[in-house]
Amino acid sequence: MSNTPQRLKHYAAFMQSTKWREIRTRKIAAAGGICEYEDDDEGVDKHHMPSRCTATDSLHVHHLSYANFGGQERDADLEVLCAEHHAIAELMKQECGRCQDSVFDWAEEAEAIWALVCDDSPDWSDCLQSARDMSPAYCQYCDHMMNKDD
């Protein structure tokens, strides 16, 4: 889903709709009311804890794919994430404007920026923007110095 003003307006309207609330409720119930984040690295996180997040508060439903966006979302298009892991997933989407490679190699890099900026803040969207502003400004893959427009 490209970020044209018309699409962003459609996205915002749908995210406030009754249909989206129904889809969101269904997906959270299917996930057992628990964040679905899993760390793929060796089955444990950096604190040597089990790899599955067990958060049950501040759950968000994150689009993995927009192929069925607008009311036709399937469970495979979505994942339930706590606020922290949703922000990390959004940070992981950041790409270099030149080579389109991911700015972050590992979720741990995104987690470190999120922790530095947002650990004690209650405002998820402000924290996400601040974390994006702190993201690496240099693409290690194509030697591109990125700016805020990339």
Mean pLDDT within 72-93: 87
- The residue-averaged pLDDT of 18-28 equals 96
Average pLDDT over residues 41-61: 71
What are residue 38's phi and psi, to 5 degrees? -130, 135
- How far apart are the two ends of the chain, measured CA to CA in Å? 17
Q: How many CA atoms lie within 13 A of 46 on its CB side?
A: 6
Higher pLDDT, 34 or 96: 34
DSSP 15: H
Regarding predicted confidence, which is higher, 142 or 74? Answer: 74
pLDDT computed for residue 57 by the predictor: 92
What is the pLDDT at residue 44? 47
Closest CA to 60 of 94, 16, 25, 32: 25
Mean pLDDT computed over 73-94? 86
Do 120 and 70 meet the contact criterion of CB atoms below 8 Å apart?
no
What confidence score (pLDDT) does residue 87 get? 81
C-alpha distance from residue 145 to each of 55, 96, 149 (Å): 37, 9, 11
What pLDDT score does 85 carry? Answer: 86
Q: Identify residue 3 by its one-letter amino acid code.
A: N
Q: Is the pLDDT of residue 50 over 80?
A: no
